């Protein structure tokens, strides 16, 4: 495999809790290593408290590891300096877009932040991106309130991909959607990844959705990686007891 | 006998674009102590059934026909005092947005006190919160709703819903607004507490997996009608209605590795009046001529299906 | 019974509600709000254009002391023979200007501080919240007395008091409205895209708290007018020969038995002004619902 796009190297992270006079350290990650290469989707499954959302924040530069390193294209991750090269699609469709901005303005925002292109060229990019995520052009000037949950999530995928990022984090990106919409968005993500070749981390509590979206899966529990394998291997009953429990929970 | 029952219920909302029919002769029964899952996409009308059971419909809604019964009594015919007693003692509600459901100006202890009597600090209040497995009940009692996480607030809502030992709890997407990772804990809690107490539970959800796991019977709602009702295992292993089948096909979980999921083509309908045929006809892969001109009637024994193609069994009255 | 449609209507988008669309007619279908707006416009117009009308000077004596209403002077005269009508017009102008001006400054400061508290993380937040608590816990009149000691009683003292009362509430209201917005996915997405705090504030926070702020401004102005009134009534605020509604009530109170209209008329006008701003505030709040759009 070529050099990873995103790499977590023996990352430790503790949260600090409690009032100033009685600070406690609450460990969240105990030395986790993880890498996603170009065109690869790594699935990250686990229940609440497993540390998967902490990993998400570390990968976006919203948290810094206390030990170990988060590297992006071989260099230490820097959110401002490397902006536009990574992006995120989050959980709640009702809050994924700013209700006061038009869909086009929301999708355009990452370009506006990095000051790429002119207003007209950005608009053209937005319209192209809308087409790519399967939204009609006249969605551009609508407000989020006029969109369904699935349409909003499509728009947030468009916003994530508009800067042609090298890495995209999908954090419970389909969890809040109706099942019939889930499969649409999962298929969309798969198709776009094939076209654009970004590396991806697909975080979810839902093993069924994750093994569908990912190439490789990492199972986390209590801040540690407890199981790992190709996505296809997760279609077979696992011998690992915790993975097996997750499999049972995701049966339909 | 059914404890909760919606009988051919038609509910319409007045909107700026004319009437929207949320329920189009929906029929549903929940027996005492039963855990029934109500599955449907957003906009299918499942929430409307829930609020109609306590006549909590918003101001622009109108029950055009049909009836709602709780314990055999028509809710639509109830007087004010009886209706209050129904809402207060007989039914418990858990809604999607727990923080929005709680009174933002009062501490949790006071709100719980309103439900069961008693002052903040009473041992009894603490016990109520211990039942919903809140880690630090004393502290939670002193907290305001906005100081709680979504999961904690939903536990509080469950404690409030169960505080007066209702005979039925209606939970409308109780986990949809919560962080995905705490959802199953909250559902487990809700189901185990209602089961222990022998309380009927109507769980409205779009999460098929949760419904399969927790419910004894499942009703599938589409286009304002209950299109299929069956014991949970049977519904998931041999779905009869084409919509149910399409829904199960679309959900990740049953596919083989490398297989592509098949989303249901098209989008759910918005009804403006009684629909002449089957509301699923536009998206149904196996529609026949009758589907667009004739309303399907229920084919019933233990497994009710509202479809022209369903194997015809005894027709229920 | 109901109409039958041949096929399910395809368009599914939820009705575009509240969110963006503002009715062209202000407060359509809201009689209380309209009444408040009418009152407010009337008072502001009197305050602004009243002095230009031929109603006499507010500071020159007519030589006729404590004249009752009517009788050549529409609202009578005060103890120095100054005509009350122009003094009340002057008072309306002074009271509204002080309250509005100070509240607008407090709003700018409050919105920035409140949004910054919500954005900047726990420590800064804590600092700003505690600072507003300190201002809030100071007795208003103590602040006013301090200012009058330093700068002498007058407009400045009244303004300081109004500022001290309205600022902390504004900070709190804005912060409370901004906190949930900061947690929203769209703000995280913008942060990940490299947005600066200033950009988050400008593009996402301000538009989303706007509705709350507008309503709060109206309330704050009405409160500001009461504070100014109280200060000037006690003689700590606006000083003669200038006039505010409060100072007029204050000086008129001495002659309540001889010339009840002297204190009563400015008092009633102050009450109406407070009512007007409150009604408008309520109506604005009803119209620009602060809760973000949700799916039906």
Better pLDDT: B293 or A159: A159
Looking at beta carbons, which residues of chain A come within 8 Å of B181?
46-50, 52-53, 172, 205
Give the domain range for residue A120. 6-249
The answer, yes or no, to whether residue C15 has pLDDT greater than 60, is no
- Among A19-33, A220-234, C36-50, where is mean pLDDT lowest? A19-33
Mean pLDDT of A136-154: 90
The per-residue pLDDT of chain A, averaged, comes to 91
Question: Tens digits of per-residue pLDDT, A35-76?
Answer: 999 999 999 998 877 889 899 999 999 999 999 999 999 889
HEC readout, B34-67? CEEEEECCCCCCHHHHHHHCCCCCCCCEEEEEEE
Does a structural domain hold residue B47?
A: yes
The answer, yes or no, to whether residue A23 has pLDDT greater than 50, is yes
Q: Which residues contact C237 (CB under 8 A, 6 or more apart)?
A: C144, C153, C154, C155, C157, C158, C161, C228, C231, C244, C246, C247
Does a structural domain hold residue B52?
A: yes
Which residues in A9-34 are b (16+ Cβ under 10 Å) and which e? bebebbeeeeeeeeeeeeebbbbbeb
Shortest Cα–Cα distance, B60 to chain A (Å): 19
Mean pLDDT of C124-146: 85
Looking at beta carbons, which residues of chain B come within 8 Å of A178?
41-42, 206
Considering only the beta carbons, identify the residue of B177, B261, B267 that sits closest to A186: B261
The answer, yes or no, to whether residue C217 has pLDDT greater than 80, is yes
Mean pLDDT of C114-122: 89
Output the domain CATH number for residue A140. 3.40.50.300
Contact (Cβ atoms closer than 8 angstroms) between residue C75 and residue C267: no
Looking at beta carbons, which residues of chain A come within 8 Å of B213?
249
Alpha-carbon span C29 to C8, nearest angstrom? 33
In the prediction, which pLDDT does B293 show? 85
Q: Structure tokens of A43? A: 């699935």
The rounded percent of chain A whose pLDDT value lies above 70 is: 99
Number of separate domains in chain A:
1
Looking at beta carbons, which residues of chain A come within 8 Å of B237?
none
Considering only the beta carbons, identify the residue of A52, A182, A232 that sits closest to B252: A182
Number of separate domains in chain B:
1
3-state secondary structure (DSSP) of residue A176: coil
Find which of B275, B289, B295 to mutate to test the C interface (most C CBs within 10 Å of its CB). Answer: B275
Residue contacts between B and C (CB atoms, under 8 Å): 51
Looking at beta carbons, which residues of chain A come within 8 Å of C10?
none
Q: In this complex, do B269 and C15 lie within 8 Å of one another by their Cβ atoms?
A: no
Alpha-carbon span A183 to B206, nearest angstrom? 14
Residues of A at the B interface (Cβ-Cβ below 8 Å)? 46-50, 52-53, 91-92, 148-149, 172, 175-176, 178-184, 186-187, 204-206, 208-209, 211-212, 231-232, 235, 249-252
Q: In this complex, do C192 and A60 lie within 8 Å of one another by their Cβ atoms?
A: yes
The answer, yes or no, to whether residue C293 has pLDDT greater than 50, is no
Question: Tens digits of per-residue pLDDT, A93-136?
Answer: 888 999 999 999 999 999 999 888 899 999 999 999 999 999 99
Does a structural domain hold residue B181?
A: yes
Considering only the beta carbons, identify the residue of A148, A212, A252 that sits closest to B208: A252
Considering only the beta carbons, identify the residue of B16, B268, B281 that sits closest to C15: B16
Mean pLDDT of A210-224: 94
Alpha-carbon span A201 to A54, nearest angstrom? 13
Does a structural domain hold residue A46?
A: yes
The answer, yes or no, to whether residue C156 has pLDDT greater than 70, is yes
Contact (Cβ atoms closer than 8 angstroms) between residue A177 and residue A93: yes
Chains that touch A (3 or more CB pairs under 8 A): B, C
In the prediction, which pLDDT does C16 show? 39
Domains of chain C: 31-47+78-287 (1.10.3720.10)
Does a structural domain hold residue B296?
A: yes
Looking at beta carbons, which residues of chain B come within 8 Å of A54?
none
Mean pLDDT of A76-101: 89
Q: What is each CA distance from A239 to A219, A232, B68, C185, in whole angstroms?
A: 13, 14, 50, 37
Alpha-carbon span B94 to C185, nearest angstrom? 25
Question: Tens digits of per-residue pLDDT, C227-277?
Answer: 999 888 888 888 878 889 999 999 989 888 888 888 999 999 999 999 999
Output the domain CATH number for residue B72. 3.40.50.300
Does a structural domain hold residue A173?
A: yes
Mean pLDDT of C112-130: 90
Contact (Cβ atoms closer than 8 angstroms) between residue B296 and residue B225: no
Alpha-carbon span C165 to C136, nearest angstrom? 7
Q: Low-confidence residues of chain B, pLDDT below 50?
A: 312-317
Does a structural domain hold residue B255?
A: yes
In the prediction, which pLDDT does B207 show? 85
The residue assigned the tokens 């538009």 is: C207
Residues of A at the C interface (Cβ-Cβ below 8 Å)? 60-62, 79-80, 83-84, 86-88, 90-101, 106, 109-110, 113-114, 142-149, 151, 156, 159-160, 163
Does a structural domain hold residue A1?
A: no
Mean pLDDT of A189-214: 93
Chains that touch B (3 or more CB pairs under 8 A): A, C
Looking at beta carbons, which residues of chain C come within 8 Å of A87?
189, 192-193
Alpha-carbon span A32 to A40, nearest angstrom? 19
B163 touching chain C per CB within 8 A: no
Residues of B at the A interface (Cβ-Cβ below 8 Å)? 41-42, 176-177, 179-185, 206-209, 212-213, 236, 246-248, 250-258, 260-264, 267
The nearest alpha carbon in chain A to B233 belongs to A252
HEC readout, chain B? CEEEEEEEEEEEEEECCEEEEEEEEEEEEEECCCEEEEECCCCCCHHHHHHHCCCCCCCCEEEEEEEEEECCEECCCCCHHHHHHHHHHHEEEECCCHHHHCCCCCCHHHHHHHHHCCCCCCHHHHHHHHHCCCCCHHHHHHCCHHHCCHHHHHHHHHHHHHCCCCCEEEEECCCCCCCHHHHHHHHHHHHHHHHHHCCEEEEEECCHHHHHHHCCEEEEEECCEEEEEEEHHHHHHCCCCHHHHHHHHHCCCCCCCCCCCCCCCCCCCEECCCECCCCCHHHCCCCCCHHHHCCCCCECCCCEECCCCCCCCCECC
Q: In this complex, do A91 and B180 lie within 8 Å of one another by their Cβ atoms?
A: yes
Strands A199-204 and A41-45: parallel
Alpha-carbon span B282 to B267, nearest angstrom? 9
Does a structural domain hold residue B117?
A: no
What are the start-end ranges of the H helices in chain C? 31-49, 84-119, 122-137, 140-151, 155-183, 185-192, 197-199, 206-233, 245-252, 260-287
The answer, yes or no, to whether residue C208 has pLDDT greater than 80, is yes
Looking at beta carbons, which residues of chain B come within 8 Å of C11?
270
In the prediction, which pLDDT does A252 show? 64
State yes or no: ipTM above 0.85: yes
Looking at beta carbons, which residues of chain C come within 8 Å of A61?
192
The per-residue pLDDT of chain C, averaged, comes to 83
Phi, psi (rounded to 5 degrees) for C260: -60, -30
B150 touching chain C per CB within 8 A: no
Looking at beta carbons, which residues of chain A come within 8 Å of C294?
94
Does a structural domain hold residue B132?
A: no
Considering only the beta carbons, identify the residue of B269, B273, B281 that sits closest to C4: B273
How many residues are there in chain B?
Answer: 317
In the prediction, which pLDDT does B71 show? 92
The nearest alpha carbon in chain A to B183 belongs to A48
């Amino acid at each position: 495999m070529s050099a990873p796009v995103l790499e977590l190297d023996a990352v430790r992270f503790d949260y600090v809790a409690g009032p100033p006079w009685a600070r406690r350290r609450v460990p969240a990650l105990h030395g986790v290593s993880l890498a996603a290469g170009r065109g690869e989707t790594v699935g990250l499954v686990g229940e609440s408290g497993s540390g998967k959302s902490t990993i998400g924040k570390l990968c976006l530069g919203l948290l810094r590891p206390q030990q170990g390193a988060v590297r992006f294209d071989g260099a230490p991750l820097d959110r401002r300096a490397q902006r536009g090269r990574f992006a995120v699609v989050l959980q709640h469709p009702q809050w994924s877009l700013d209700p006061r901005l038009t869909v086009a303005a929301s999708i355009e925002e990452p370009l506006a932040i990095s000051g790429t292109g002119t207003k007209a060229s950005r608009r053209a990019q937005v319209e192209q991106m809308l087409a790519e995520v399967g939204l009609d052009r006249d969605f551009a000037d609508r407000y989020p309130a006029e969109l369904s949950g699935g349409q909003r999530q499509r728009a947030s995928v468009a916003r994530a991909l508009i800067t042609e990022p090298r890495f995209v984090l999908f954090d419970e990106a389909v969890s809040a959607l109706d099942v019939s919409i889930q499969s649409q968005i999962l298929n969309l993500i798969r198709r776009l990844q094939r076209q654009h070749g970004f590396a991806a981390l697909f975080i979810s509590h839902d093993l069924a959705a994750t093994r569908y979206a990912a190439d490789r899966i990492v199972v986390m529990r209590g801040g540690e990686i407890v199981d790992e394998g190709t996505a296809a291997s997760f279609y077979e009953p696992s011998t690992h007891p915790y993975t097996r429990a997750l499999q049972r929970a995701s049966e339909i | 006998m059914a404890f909760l029952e919606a009988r051919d219920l038609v509910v319409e909302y007045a909107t700026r674009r004319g009437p929207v029919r949320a329920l189009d002769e929906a029929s549903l029964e929940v027996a005492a102590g039963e855990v029934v899952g109500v599955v449907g996409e957003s906009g299918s009308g499942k929430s409307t059934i829930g609020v109609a059971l306590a006549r909590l419909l918003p101001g622009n809604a109108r029950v055009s026909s049909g009836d709602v019964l709780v314990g055999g009594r028509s809710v639509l015919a109830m007087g004010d005092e009886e209706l209050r007693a129904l809402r207060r003692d007989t039914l418990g509600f858990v809604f999607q947005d727990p923080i929005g459901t709680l009174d933002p100006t009062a501490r949790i202890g006071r709100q719980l006190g309103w439900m069961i009597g008693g002052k903040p600090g009473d041992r009894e209040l603490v016990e109520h919160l211990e039942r919903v497995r809140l880690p630090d009940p004393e502290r939670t009692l002193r907290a305001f709703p906005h100081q709680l996480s979504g999961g904690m607030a939903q536990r509080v809502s469950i404690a409030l819903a169960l505080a007066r030992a209702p005979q039925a709890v209606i939970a409308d997407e109780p986990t949809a607004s919560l962080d995905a990772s705490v959802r199953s804990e909250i559902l487990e809690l809700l189901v185990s507490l209602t089961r222990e107490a022998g309380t009927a539970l109507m769980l409205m959800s779009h999460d098929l997996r949760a419904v399969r796991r927790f419910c004894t019977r499942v009703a599938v709602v589409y286009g304002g009608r209950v299109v299929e009702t069956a014991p949970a295992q049977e519904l998931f292993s041999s779905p009869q209605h084409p919509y149910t089948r399409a829904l199960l096909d679309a959900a990740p979980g049953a596919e083989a590795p490398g297989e592509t999921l098949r989303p249901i083509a098209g989008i759910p309908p918005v009804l403006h009046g009684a629909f002449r045929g089957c509301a699923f006809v536009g998206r149904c892969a196996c529609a026949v001529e009758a589907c667009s001109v004739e309303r399907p009637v229920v084919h019933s024994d233990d497994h009710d299906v509202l479809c022209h193609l369903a194997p015809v069994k005894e027709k229920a009255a | 019974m109901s109409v039958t449609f041949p096929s399910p209507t395809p368009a599914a988008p939820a009705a575009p509600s509240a969110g963006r669309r503002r009715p062209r007619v202000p407060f359509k279908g809201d009689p209380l709000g309209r009444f408040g707006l009418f009152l407010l416009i009337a008072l502001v117009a009197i305050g602004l254009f009243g002095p230009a009308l031929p109603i006499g000077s507010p500071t020159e004596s007519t030589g006729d002391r404590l004249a009752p209403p009517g009788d050549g002077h529409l609202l009578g005269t005060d103890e120095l023979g100054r005509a009350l009508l122009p003094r009340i017009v002057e008072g309306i102008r002074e009271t509204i200007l002080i309250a509005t001006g100070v509240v607008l400054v407090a709003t700018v400061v409050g919105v920035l501080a409140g949004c910054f508290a919500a954005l900047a993380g726990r420590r800064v937040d804590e600092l700003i919240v505690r600072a507003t608590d300190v201002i809030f816990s100071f007795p208003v009149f103590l602040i006013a007395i301090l200012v009058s000691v330093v700068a002498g009683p007058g407009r400045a003292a009244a303004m300081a008091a109004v500022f001290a009362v309205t600022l902390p509430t504004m900070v709190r209201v804005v912060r409370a409205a901004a906190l949930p917005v900061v947690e929203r996915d769209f703000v995280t997405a913008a942060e990940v895209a490299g947005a600066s705090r200033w950009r988050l504030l400008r593009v996402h926070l301000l538009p989303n708290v706007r509705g709350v702020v507008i309503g709060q401004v109206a309330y704050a102005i009405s409160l500001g007018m009461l504070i100014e009134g109280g200060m000037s009534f006690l003689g700590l605020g606006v000083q003669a020969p200038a006039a505010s509604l409060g100072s007029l009530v204050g000086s008129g109170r001495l002659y309540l038995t001889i010339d009840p209209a002297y204190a009563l008329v400015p008092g009633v006008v102050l009450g109406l002004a407070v009512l007007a701003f409150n009604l408008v505030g309520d109506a604005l709040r009803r119209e620009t619902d602060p809760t973000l759009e949700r799916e039906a």
